[in-house]
A and B are shown apart, each in its own frame.
Chain A
Amino acid sequence: MKQSAREEEWADWLRLAIKGDVQAYNRFLVAVTPHLRRMARRRCDQYGAPASEAEDVVQEVLLAIHLKRGTWDPARPLGPWLTTIVRNKLVDSLRRRGRQVSVPIDDVSDFLEAGDETHEAADRLDTETMLAQLRDPQRDIVRSISIEGAGIRETAARLKMTEGAVRVALHRALKSLAALYRSD
């Protein structure tokens, strides 16, 4: 596959992110999401599934990218890695929701080329329901960071924890969220 300019840009961001660059990682995730959403919507429309379900699929794919980003070899192109993980997780997620699907690879690799589309994010599993299923320090940390918009340091100070402990708990919380989607 030819490396598009977008793919190179995303690869640069993810390379920086793996080393701990928060801003670069945010740019990467914000850039990828609309493309995931378009793919998920297209699949869900095909089966008459509501847009909220597509949004759950988007979140599940995002979590897979997040939790498995350590398997990308930064010396290699990002495209094949990203398209494979997205396709696998899309199929997996849709199938678990009872939709027999196959997602052609071209459909997925297109998103490295296609234009941006932004949509409103409509979610099905509301935040409180989800938070209720997390254990204690994780729940407070998730609430503090995602809803109140605090950083790691601020959250650590607020909860009287060390920054390291907050990081560990946050990582576990994201793993738990991924498991929640899987058990849905």
Chain B
Amino acid sequence: MKTDDLITLMTQDAPVGLRYGRALAIALVAGVAVSGVLLVITVGLRHNMASVFETARVLFKIVVTIALAVLAARLAMRIGRPGEALRLPALLLGLPALLVGAAVAAELAVLPQATWKANMVGGNALFCLFFIPVLSLAPLAGLFWALKQGAPENPTAAGAAAGLAAGAIAAAIYAWHCPDDSPLFLAAWYTIAIGVVTGAGALLGRRWLRW
């Protein structure tokens, strides 16, 4: 085909149906809504949420997961746009990690050593490991759909970023049910659950996010 003919063709297809930024916003809103509803209709919110909300550990759990979700979603958005700087948004991910590290140190300083293990294992570790990935399915599907319209330079990294964002969103939603409040629990099980979703995202991205 002559290049001029190709240009004529493309010219007639000038308007953009759905911009990448909008696709990503739709995906995030829909993903959060679906997973939020899923949590409420299956296991429900924690019954005493209003009264425990003031306690520092619960507040910390909610704030740190939301912070990670926002930062990771920002990275996932940028990774689909050619020519965007990625270093700063990637480095910012260290912030919630530092916060968790500080909270773990504080917890260890306050709690007697004999109770460390019980606080880390908590009451629902296995359910947490199961349910965070379940809650991440809707946001992950949405982010992959949006990134398909994007142009990520590295499909594996883009998939990992989408997985991290979806896992963090799922964790931020699960935190509204989760009865285990220790930062030790958070640092152990939430991290594993989010890590699993991130790894799955990387593998899927390598296959599906090529363009």
B139-154 vs A: 1/0 string, CB under 8 Å?
A: 0000000000111010
Q: Does A167 contact B (CB under 8 A)?
A: yes
Stretch at the interface among A3-11, A41-49, A64-72: A64-72
User: Restricting to A140-184, which residues have a CB under 8 Å from any CB of B?
Assistant: 142, 145-147, 149, 151-152, 167, 170-171, 173-174, 177
Q: Does B18 contact A (CB under 8 A)?
A: yes
Interface residues of B, dominant DSSP: loop
Q: Does B114 contact A (CB under 8 A)?
A: no
Interface range, A side:
35 or more
A103-117 vs B: 1/0 string, CB under 8 Å?
A: 000000000000000
Q: Given the complex of chains A and B, what is the CA–CA distance between A66 and B13 in angstroms?
A: 9
Q: Name, among B1, B17, B23, B149, the residue most crowded by chain A CB atoms within 10 Å (CB to CB).
A: B1
Q: Name, among B5, B6, B8, B150, the residue most crowded by chain A CB atoms within 10 Å (CB to CB).
A: B6
A62 and B3 contacting across the interface, CB-CB below 8 Å: yes
Q: Given the complex of chains A and B, what is the CA–CA distance between A85 and B211 in angstroms?
A: 11
> Which chain B residues lie closer than 8 Å to A2 at the CB level?
none
Q: How far is the CB of A80 from chain B (nearest CB, A)?
A: 3
B3 and A68 contacting across the interface, CB-CB below 8 Å: no
Q: How far is the CB of B71 from chain A (nearest CB, A)?
A: 19
Stretch at the interface among B48-56, B76-84, B87-95: B76-84
Interface residue ranges, B against A (CB under 8 Å): 1-21, 23, 80-84, 149-151, 153, 211
A-B contact pairs, 7 of them (CB 8 A): A20-B14, A26-B11, A33-B3, A62-B6, A64-B151, A71-B150, A127-B5
